[in-house]
A and B are shown apart, each in its own frame.
Chain A
Amino acid sequence: GAVVSQHPSRVICKSGTSVKIECRSLDFQATTMFWYRQFPKQSLMLMATSNEGSKATYEQGVEKDKFLINHASLTLSTLTVTSAHPEDSSFYICSATRGDSNQPQHFGDGTRLSIL
C-alpha cells in the first residue's frame, strides 16, 4: 500500500509561535502533495497543492505568507504555520499522490494544532 507519514500528530503551543508540520511519502515518490485543513464537524478544505521543486499553488483566501509550504523532494513536503494564533487551531492533513489527479490521494494521519 501507499503510506504517508505526518509528524507531529499533535501540537500545543503559545500564540505567536511558528509550527512546522512534515509530510513524507514512505514507499512511493509523490508527484504532488496536498495540504488540507478541517475544522470540527466540517468538510475538508484544500489549502494548497505542492509539486516537488516548484512553488505551491494556494487556494483562494489562504495566505501564502502565513502558511509556508516547501516541497524539497519527491518524498517530503512541509507546512509551516507562521506566528500562529488561536484562530489557526485546526486539524491539518496532508496527502500525496503518485501521478496526476486520476491517481488516488493517500492521506497522512493529520496534525491537531492547538494555539493557546
Chain B
Amino acid sequence: QKEVEQNSGPLSVPEGAIASLNCTYSDRGSQSFFWYRQYSGKSPELIMFIYSNGDKEDGRFTAQLNKASQYVSLLIRDSQPSDSATYLCAVSSGGYQKVTFGTGTKLQVIP
C-alpha cells in the first residue's frame, strides 16, 4: 500500500521565520508531488507542485524534492500568521492511479 507520511504537528514558528514542512513517501515510482494548504473548515487549495529533483520556488514558497531519499518538503519564508493552516502533501504514481494524500501538518505562526 502506498503511503505518504507527515508529522501532524503542530509546528510552531515565530512570525518572519522559515517554516519547514516535510513529507516522505513509500512508492519509489512516484512521479508527481503536490502541496495543498487547508484552513480550518475550508477545502484544500493548491500551493505548488513539483515533478523533478531539486527546488522549485514560487514567491515565499519553495518545494524541494529528493527522489533518492523519497522525501519532499515545503519551505515557507517570512512566515505570516495568515500562513497558519494544515498543509497536505500529495503524491501521484502517474497515469490514472489514485493520488495519495498525507494526513497533513498543522502549522502555527506566532505573531
**A-side interface residues toward B, CB under 8 Å?**
6, 32, 43-44, 46, 49, 91, 93, 100-110
If over half of B's interface residues share one DSSP class (helix, strand or loop), that class is named, otherwise mixed; here it is loop
Q: A106 contacts B46, CB within 8 Å?
A: yes
By secondary structure, the A interface counts as loop
Q: Cβ of A93: which chain B residues have Cβ within 8 Å of it?
A: 43-44
Interchain CB contact under 8 A, A100 and B94: yes
Give the size category of B's interface with A: 20 to 34
- Measured between beta carbons, the chain A residues less than 8 angstroms from B101 are 43-44, 46
Q: Say yes or no: A100 contacts B96, CB within 8 Å.
A: yes
Identify the interface centre among A49, A102, A106: most chain B CB within 10 Å of its CB: A102
Residue pairs across A and B with Cβ atoms less than 8 A apart, 11 shown, are A32-B96, A43-B101, A43-B103, A46-B98, A102-B31, A102-B32, A102-B51, A102-B94, A105-B46, A107-B46, A108-B43
On chain A, the residues within 8 Å of B36 by CB distance are: 107
**Among residues 7 to 63 in chain B, which have CB atoms less than 8 Å away from a CB atom of chain A?**
31-32, 34, 36, 41-46, 49, 51
B95 on interface, CB distance cutoff 8 Å: yes
Distance (Å) between the CB of A34 and the closest chain B CB?
Answer: 8
